[in-house]
Amino acid sequence: MANHIESIGVDTVPDNQRTGKPRNIISVFVGSNLSLSVMVFGWLGILYGLSWWQSVSAILVGTSIAAAFVSTSSLLGWRAATNNSVSSGAFFGVKGRLIASFVGLLLCIQYVALTVWTGGEIISAGWARLTDTKVSDSLIAIGYAVIAVAVVIFAVLGYSWIIKLNKYVTYLMGALVILSVIGLWSTFDPSYPGDPEVYALGSLWPTWFLTALTCGAAGPISYVTQTGDWSRYISESAHSARDIVKNTFAAMIVGLSIPTLFGAFVAIAAFDEESFAGGFVAGSPSWLIIPLLLVGFIGSLGQGSINLYSMGLDMDAILPKLSRLQSTVLVAGISTGLVFIGKFIYDAEAAVTNSVLFLTSLASSWIVISLFGYYKNKGNFDKAALQVFNKRESGGKYWFTGGWNLKATFSWIVGSVIGILGISTVDYVGPIASALGDVDVSVPGAVISALVVYALLER
């Protein structure tokens, strides 16, 4: 078994092992996103009070704009032959790249927790309906544990196993989604007008922008630190930058739009304001329950494994003494623990919305600085110099000031703060958003401010 476990962490991938194909990026991100943890974002749009067509437009606009922006992030790992966090050391410094590692770790913790939560919920609800019993806390806990253990196995096995897994997940989940559409079609109303009385932000356009960001743009942006995990195994000499960007863009559009729109479809056909999974199960015909159990299990494998795999790499980058295997098991325990705590303490809708927008602001300001640096340096990296911190050494091309590029770090802080001040949710409205009529401008605010400050400092 040990021979099948990937041994490479965030160190440079040897050229003779860079045998991946650009289409692998599509396989990974399409298969992994056909999961309840992505579908639940479509439910949020309806929960915010939007109609079917308003939700569709917000999801597609947000996803398309963000996908165009994020698709170039895969070039970092591809040119540097390591993950995006370590690659960013060329711009933030070999210690400054810990910013990306921490942001990536927080993003992945959130999405692994969301995967275990949604997968465990539908498995427990489906099993309860199948056996005509009540959903109990112990049954939910078992559902969480089943998902967590299965996800850990594939994340530990690593790159090649996750690629194979998601190729099968794409077809299986595609078939299950089609079955679900058939089963719920009779109760779906495309003319559903929404409910203006429950608009999340009080009126249409602020709520629409919130949906475009939370249910649309946040999806691609959440992967800015992860795209390099998969492009780092693709050869620079065998494939072009155009191939990498094109496949990443397609992966984001297809992989995120379909499950999110499906989630909105389910929310209208089988609405439950307390639980997406609960409504899905309760509103489905009896013949669909077993397929729904498969949706919960199989879909969680793909999404959970890529996020947990990335978490292991980020933790490996933060704590070089740990192996990728040790790092993966550690962060798996943290994420699963958060699910058990959050289940009984915090409101799910508020938790998802607030954390997504907060982390999206941090990620947006980081990636725009990294991409600016990438194009300024024409995509050239000193691969050996990037690994200085991992080897517990000092000095080199990217040492800057004690391992930190203070200009990039300051620019990231400015962008992140501006982004957070531009957030608008039910629980929190930043002063910038408030001044603009409660419209959420967190992502454009973070991107523009970080880019302008960094460009001025680098003149």
pLDDT by residue for the chain (459 residues), tens only, comes to 455 677 677 889 999 999 999 999 999 999 999 998 899 999 999 999 999 999 999 999 999 999 999 999 999 999 999 999 999 999 999 999 999 989 988 888 888 888 888 888 899 999 999 999 998 888 888 888 888 888 888 888 888 888 888 889 999 999 999 999 999 999 999 999 999 999 999 999 999 999 999 999 999 999 999 999 999 999 999 999 999 999 999 999 999 999 999 999 999 999 988 888 889 999 999 999 999 999 889 989 888 888 888 877 777 777 777 777 787 788 778 877 777 776 655 555 566 667 888 999 999 999 999 999 999 999 999 999 999 988 888 899 999 999 999 999 999 999 999 999 999 988 889 999 999 999 999 999 999 999 999 999 998
Determine the pLDDT at residue 239.
Answer: 95
What pLDDT does 344 receive?
54
Give, in order, the Cα–Cα distances in Å from 103 to each of 52, 145, 221, 226, 437. Answer: 33, 26, 12, 11, 29
Residues 6+ apart with CB under 8 A from 254: 26, 30
Q: Examine residue 441 and state whether it is found in any structural domain, yes or no.
A: no
What pLDDT, on the 0 to 100 scale, is given for residue 397? 95
How many domains is the chain partitioned into structurally? 1
Q: Is residue 266 part of a domain?
A: yes
Q: Is residue 402 part of a domain?
A: no
Q: Specify whether the CB–CB gap between 159 and 5 falls below 8 A.
A: no
Report if residue 439 sits inside a domain. no
Quote the pLDDT of residue 351.
Answer: 65
Residue 112's domain comprises 27-348
Alpha-carbon distance of 87 to 101, in angstroms, equals 11
| Two tokens, residue 400 | 């800057």
- Count the alpha carbons within 13 Å of 273 in the hemisphere toward its beta carbon: 6
Please name which of 321, 307, 411 lies closest in space to residue 93, comparing C-alpha atoms: 411
Say which residue the tokens 């943290």 belong to.
334
CATH classification at residue 199: 1.10.4160.10
CA atoms within 13 A on the CB side of 383: 15
Give the per-residue pLDDT at 342: 65
Give me 22's structure tokens: 């650009």
Distance CA 335, CA 307 (A): 11
The pair of structure tokens assigned to 323 is 């192996």
163 within some domain: yes
In-domain check, residue 361: no
Residue 428 has a CB neighbour count (10 Å cut-off) of 14
Predicted model pTM: 0.91
Task: List, in sequence order, the alpha helices (H) in 232-288.
Answer: 241-269, 276-282
Determine, yes or no, domain membership for 381: no
Q: Is residue 128 one of the residues assigned to a domain?
A: yes
